[in-house]
Structure 1
Amino acid sequence: MNDREKRDFQAGLNAEIDAWLKGENTRRSFIKKFGLMTGLLATSGGILSPWAENALAQAAVDLADPASPLGKAQAAAMKASTEGPADGSAYRAAQAAKQFTGATLNMTYEAGLQALDPRNFSGPVWEQLTGIKSNVVELSNPDQYSKAVAEHIAGSGAYDVLDISPAWTPSLADGGVIAPLDDYIAKYMNQADLDDVHPLYKALPTYKGKIWGFFDDGDMFALYYRKDIFEDAKLKEAYQAKFSKALEPPKTWEDYAQVAQFITDNLAPNVYGAGHFRKAGSPGNQFDFLQQYRANGGILFSDDMKAGLNSDAGMKTLTNMLAANAASIPGNNELDAVSLWAAFLQGKVAMIYSWPPTGRMAANYSQSAKAINFIPQSSIAGKVGYAVVPGNPEHATGYNKALSADSKNAEAAYLFMQWVTSPPVSLARVMLPYALRDPYRLSHFKSDLYGELFPSAKEYLINLNNSANVGLLDIIMPGAQDYFLSLDRMCTSVWAGTDPKAALETAAAEWDQTTDRLGVDQQKAFYTEFKKLPGASADNTVEKLGLAVKL
């Protein structure tokens, strides 16, 4: 397919999705004929990249040393699946699924490291237990949404299990792309497992009183900092003399920029105070902006659904972000998430905030897997401390496992989802060194086996739990991706020199256009539901609601 065909298809697909979001009729013939002709939609067997085809040639399940904490967790998952307890969700799912031996499940996963778990561990183990095979369909994060919609419009039945962002649940549920799980849960699940999910995440798969998936990834931002630098006697004395306060992990964004600048002034070029992934789309500035903006008292939408971005809170947020940039490692504004990790691991940055794999990488645990060979060995192992991000940290994206409403193997697909997210199996998965699935169950945070993965693992888990207690959720409503892209463009334009006030005005106008396009009344209804969720705002966190989990 040539570039023109790709552009034509994408333009048509965007128009179809807009119509679908608004509940209007879509041109199924366009999606089906043009999409299948050009190969942009999956066939009934799914599409695999050449890399994926090679990966499927691996015959053995990726099991760790039985004496290691991971090996013990994997053994416990196998035992729970084969021996019970009989009322356990893992056992009930594995036993019930044997009636579907010979079936193949097509499941979407984000391309790259995310797909290694179902390829190397959970998929092969499930096949051993049940005789059910799996095809892992690798997609970019945006395509995990758009292609699920396109396949539904085409009626292809190409997918069985969908990995989706919680932000997409309302639109995919209303559009008939995903199916509710309540009947299956009543039939097969030990429902006590639902109470094992941290309160911030527990409600994310629910919508209009039904359950539309299983939460599967605690993508909580946390602050990671160099203890050896923050505990340096000379630096502590100098900071106290200059600012009349102790040098410690910052609790406000003003303190964050001040601490970062102090460290840069005293230790650069050997070490800089901070670093951030500021490059557009890598993965995007929206996560950082949203966590600071709401911690600063910013509102997303007014009562009449006008964007609240162009405000004092918006200006304060961009001002703080610019100050942090100035205190950061050279090239800060062109860093992506991986290059930021590399700078931190090589000892060039004193503190960063990012996703939970940061802690595993800093301890050199992740690097024990060959799949992480693009990440350098950590030069700071044993020197890293953990803290809650100033104000309120963002739960940035995350994943639910959802059942495709068009699945030709719906019950088998559901049973896989129940099994893979059950407490013993999910623990083994979040402990995989190459995994990008992060702890989300209370039993994960309390796990003695996880706590043995590296010397400070228990402190790491406690901080992830504490961060979730005060964490904020991404927007969960139709058009979320468009709102996010506007914020990313806004921030990168400011880094390039655009006046922050003008950038906020532009972003607010784009938000209003998105809201108008999708329908003000419809968007208001979705936003009203979102605001009820724990973590929807700084005034409605798990902690503020009296639901905080204390470890």
Structure 2
Amino acid sequence: MNDRERRDFEAGLAQEVDAFLRSESTRRTFITRFGQMTGLLAVSGSALTAVTDWALAQQAAELADPSTPLGQAQALALKASQEGPKDGSAFRAVEAAKQFSGVTLNLTYEAGLQALDPRNFSGPMWEQLTGIKSAVVELSNPDMYSKPVAEHIANSGAYDVLDISPAWTPSLADGGVIAPLDDYIAKYMNKADLDDYHPLYKALPTYKGKIWGFFDDGDMFALYYRKDIFEDPKLKEAYQAKFNAELAPPKTWDEYNRIAQFITDQLAPNVYGAGHFRKAGSPGNQFDFLQQFRASGGKLFDDSMKAGIASDAGLKTLQSMIASNAASIPGNNELDAVSLWAAFLTGKVAMIYSWPPTGRMAANYSQSAKAINFIPQSQIAGKVGYAVVPGNPEHATGFNKALAAGSSNLEAAYLYMQWVTSPPVSLARVMLPYALRDPYRLSHFKSELYAGLFPSAKEYLYNLNNSANVGLLDPIMPGAQDYFLSIDRMCTEVWAGGDPDAALKTAAAEMNATTERLGVDSQKAFYAEFLKLPGATADNTVEKLGMAVKLD
């Protein structure tokens, strides 16, 4: 396959996906023949298994030292799967799945660290328990959406279990790409496990009254700050004298910018007040804008589905982000998430907000795995505090496990999904130092084993729970990625010196064009479904709905 063939295929696939989203007929012949000719689609499910079976065949479930919290969690997961309790979802899934021994399930995962869990831990353990093999198909994040759609159009049956962004659920469900789980849940699951999800996450796979997957990754932003800096007597005295206020973790964005600028003025170039991943496409700009915009009262769309970002709330948000940039480490606007982690871990930044691996890395827990060789050892271990992001933090993407409707192993694939997301197994998975799956169940937040991973792990878990109580969800609707890209381009233009008001209007026009391309009426219906979810707006967070989880 040459570059021209790839470009032709990708262009054609984009057109087909758009048609799919509009519920129009698609050109199955184009997708099937051209995709298979160029190698961009699987000829069949068996073609995919060869990619990774050679590695899985050489592995057994590698369990950690049984004297460690991780080793104990893994042993408990194995015990729950083999011995019960008999009504537990893990045990019931394993017992039912043994009839499918010898089957191979094709699992899509985001390429990189995400795939290490099924390769090294859960996949081998599942095979050991049931005789069912797994082949991990690593895909880029955009391909995790487009490839299952293309395989569905081609009717290839290439995938069994899909890792998908919650934002994709409506279009994949309406398009028949994924299958509802309700009948399988009624037959196999201990229903109490559904109530073990934090309320922000419980409803995420629900669409039009049906359940289309199991939530599997609590990607909640939280604030991480240097306690030694915030508790420094001289800095506290200087801050009190200047602002007549205590130097403490910020509760508002104005406080955040004021504190960041104060620390930068006092300690730079040794330490800067803040840092952000603002690099175009990193992603970060859209998540940051969405959380601040909605916390400031902004509405993404009005009643006619016109984009609402070109507003006072939008301008206020961009001005706040510009002030944050000015108070940040040099090169802030070119940082991605990994480079920001490096700056924080090496002590160059006093506070950041990011995904949950930040806390594990800051404590040097993640670095205990050889796979985490892309970040430095933490120089701030034991000095990090946790707080809720000012206003309302973003639940920035995350993953659902969904059942590919075209799978020839539907029941076996469902049983794997039930097992791998069950309370005891999922706890062991979110405790893996090398994996990027983050806590999402109440039993995760309350786990004494997880709390034993590093000295401040209990505080870290409680803060993730508290953040979810007031957290906001990414928009869950077709076109979400296009809306995100418009916001990202807008921010990047402003960081380069562009006029904020003009950039907002341009991005709003782009978002309106996306809505019109996908159909105003259908997008309005999708958006209305999204607004029913806890966390869709700052007015209906889990806390404001009276469902907040309080941990002792």
TM-score, normalisation: structure 1 = 0.99
- Contact 1:48–1:138 (8 Å) recurs in 2: no
Counterpart of 1:137 in structure 2 is: 137
Q: In structure 2, what is the Cα distance between the partners aligned to 1:538 and 1:283? A: 22
Task: Please report how far the alpha carbon of residue 130 of structure 1 lies from its aligned counterpart in structure 2 after TM superposition.
Answer: 0.3
- Contact 2:118–2:136 (8 Å) recurs in 1: yes
Letter matched to residue 117 of structure 1: D
- Secondary structure at the counterpart of residue 142 of structure 2: helix
Q: In structure 1, what is the Cα distance between the partners aligned to 2:48 and 2:295? A: 42
The equivalences for 1:319-334 within 5 A come to 319-334=319-334
Q: In structure 2, what is the Cα distance between the partners aligned to 1:262 and 1:55? A: 52
Q: 1:47 to 1:357 in 2, by over 3 A?
A: farther
- Secondary structure at the counterpart of residue 542 of structure 1: coil
Task: Please report how far the alpha carbon of residue 283 of structure 1 lies from its aligned counterpart in structure 2 after TM superposition.
Answer: 2.0
Q: In structure 2, what is the Cα distance between the partners aligned to 1:113 and 1:297? A: 36
Letter matched to residue 419 of structure 2: W
Counterpart of 2:531 in structure 1 is: 531
Could you tell me which runs of 5 or more consecutive residues in structure 2 were left unpaired when the two chains were aligned: none
Q: In structure 1, what is the Cα distance between the partners aligned to 2:404 and 2:247? A: 51
Q: In structure 2, what is the Cα distance between the partners aligned to 1:434 and 1:245? A: 41
Task: Please report how far the alpha carbon of residue 404 of structure 1 lies from its aligned counterpart in structure 2 after TM superposition.
Answer: 0.2
- Secondary structure at the counterpart of residue 141 of structure 1: coil
Q: 1:324 to 1:53 in 2, by over 3 A?
A: farther
Q: In structure 2, what is the Cα distance between the partners aligned to 1:13 and 1:274? A: 41
- Secondary structure at the counterpart of residue 476 of structure 1: coil
Task: Please report how far the alpha carbon of residue 375 of structure 1 lies from its aligned counterpart in structure 2 after TM superposition.
Answer: 1.1
The equivalences for 1:69-468 within 5 A come to 69-468=69-468
Counterpart of 2:11 in structure 1 is: 11
Task: Please report how far the alpha carbon of residue 254 of structure 1 lies from its aligned counterpart in structure 2 after TM superposition.
Answer: 1.1
Q: In structure 2, what is the Cα distance between the partners aligned to 1:231 and 1:46? A: 59
- Secondary structure at the counterpart of residue 416 of structure 2: helix
Q: 1:57 to 1:343 in 2, by over 3 A?
A: farther
Task: Please report how far the alpha carbon of residue 49 of structure 1 lies from its aligned counterpart in structure 2 after TM superposition.
Answer: 11
Counterpart of 2:521 in structure 1 is: 521
Task: Please report how far the alpha carbon of residue 2 of structure 1 lies from its aligned counterpart in structure 2 after TM superposition.
Answer: 1.6
Q: In structure 2, what is the Cα distance between the partners aligned to 1:446 and 1:213? A: 24
- Secondary structure at the counterpart of residue 361 of structure 2: helix
1:300-336 CA-to-partner distances (Å, cap 9, x unmatched) read 0000000001000000000000000011001100001
Task: Please report how far the alpha carbon of residue 6 of structure 1 lies from its aligned counterpart in structure 2 after TM superposition.
Answer: 1.3
- Contact 1:46–1:137 (8 Å) recurs in 2: no
TM-score, normalisation: structure 2 = 0.98
Task: Please report how far the alpha carbon of residue 446 of structure 1 lies from its aligned counterpart in structure 2 after TM superposition.
Answer: 0.3
- Contact 1:151–1:157 (8 Å) recurs in 2: yes
- Contact 2:51–2:135 (8 Å) recurs in 1: no
1:61-100 CA-to-partner distances (Å, cap 9, x unmatched) read 2211001000000000000000001000000000100000
Q: In structure 2, what is the Cα distance between the partners aligned to 1:158 and 1:269? A: 53
Letter matched to residue 270 of structure 1: N
Number of positions where the alignment pairs a residue of Structure 1 with one of Structure 2: 551
Task: Please report how far the alpha carbon of residue 41 of structure 1 lies from its aligned counterpart in structure 2 after TM superposition.
Answer: 1.1
Q: In structure 2, what is the Cα distance between the partners aligned to 1:47 and 1:547? A: 46
Q: In structure 2, what is the Cα distance between the partners aligned to 1:194 and 1:168? A: 21
Q: In structure 1, what is the Cα distance between the partners aligned to 2:287 and 2:46? A: 32
Counterpart of 1:498 in structure 2 is: 498
Letter matched to residue 546 of structure 2: G
Q: In structure 1, what is the Cα distance between the partners aligned to 2:347 and 2:387? A: 18
- Contact 1:20–1:175 (8 Å) recurs in 2: yes
- Secondary structure at the counterpart of residue 478 of structure 1: coil
Letter matched to residue 182 of structure 2: D
Range moving further from structure 2, 49-58 or 111-120: 49-58
Identity %: 83
The alignment's C-alpha RMSD in Å is: 1.2
Task: Please report how far the alpha carbon of residue 385 of structure 1 lies from its aligned counterpart in structure 2 after TM superposition.
Answer: 0.1
Task: Please report how far the alpha carbon of residue 59 of structure 1 lies from its aligned counterpart in structure 2 after TM superposition.
Answer: 1.8
- Contact 2:59–2:120 (8 Å) recurs in 1: no
- Contact 1:260–1:274 (8 Å) recurs in 2: yes
Task: Please report how far the alpha carbon of residue 354 of structure 1 lies from its aligned counterpart in structure 2 after TM superposition.
Answer: 0.3
Task: Please report how far the alpha carbon of residue 60 of structure 1 lies from its aligned counterpart in structure 2 after TM superposition.
Answer: 3.1
- Contact 2:278–2:334 (8 Å) recurs in 1: yes
Letter matched to residue 371 of structure 2: A
1:241-284 CA-to-partner distances (Å, cap 9, x unmatched) read 11111111111111111111110111011100001110011124
- Contact 1:201–1:440 (8 Å) recurs in 2: yes
Q: In structure 1, what is the Cα distance between the partners aligned to 2:156 and 2:261? A: 55
Q: 1:404 to 1:454 in 2, by over 3 A?
A: same
- Secondary structure at the counterpart of residue 512 of structure 1: helix
The equivalences for 1:59-74 within 5 A come to 59-74=59-74
TM superposition outliers: structure 1 runs of 4+ over 4 Å: 46-55
- Secondary structure at the counterpart of residue 371 of structure 1: coil
- Secondary structure at the counterpart of residue 448 of structure 2: coil
Q: In structure 1, what is the Cα distance between the partners aligned to 2:374 and 2:481? A: 28
Q: In structure 1, what is the Cα distance between the partners aligned to 2:499 and 2:41? A: 42
Q: In structure 2, what is the Cα distance between the partners aligned to 1:63 and 1:279? A: 38
Q: In structure 2, what is the Cα distance between the partners aligned to 1:458 and 1:368? A: 19
Q: 1:240 to 1:47 in 2, by over 3 A?
A: farther
- Secondary structure at the counterpart of residue 225 of structure 2: strand
Could you tell me which runs of 5 or more consecutive residues in structure 1 were left unpaired when the two chains were aligned: none
